[in-house]
């Protein structure tokens, strides 16, 4: 049950982080609706965010696994 709670909390944090970042980027004009010259930068930023959140989740799960052993 404890691991399930951590996964739910991590998922909510990732969602809030992604929506907040996309909101900031759209306010800056980095993320554009039409597929123009900015689509490559948008894709790179989204891939970077996905990589960062994946690493964070892996580190947190690893710490939890090691602390239980």
Provide the residue count of the chain: 69
* Contacts of 29 by beta carbon, 8 Å cutoff, 6+ apart: 38
Task: For residue range 24-38, list pLDDT tens digits in order.
Answer: 776 666 655 554 556
Residues 6+ apart with CB under 8 A from 53: 14, 17, 18
Domain ranges of the chain: 36-69
> What pLDDT, on a 0 to 100 scale, did the predictor assign at position 11?
78
The fraction of the chain above a pLDDT of 70, given in percent, is 68
pLDDT of residue 27: 65
What's the pLDDT score for residue 60? 78
């Amino acid at each position: 049950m404890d691991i399930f709670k951590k996964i739910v909390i991590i998922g909510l944090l990732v969602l809030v982080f992604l929506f907040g970042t996309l909101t900031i980027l759209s306010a800056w004009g980095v993320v554009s609706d039409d597929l123009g010259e900015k689509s490559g930068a948008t894709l790179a930023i989204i891939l970077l965010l996905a990589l960062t959140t994946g690493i964070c989740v892996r580190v947190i799960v690893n710490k939890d696994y090691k602390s239980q052993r």
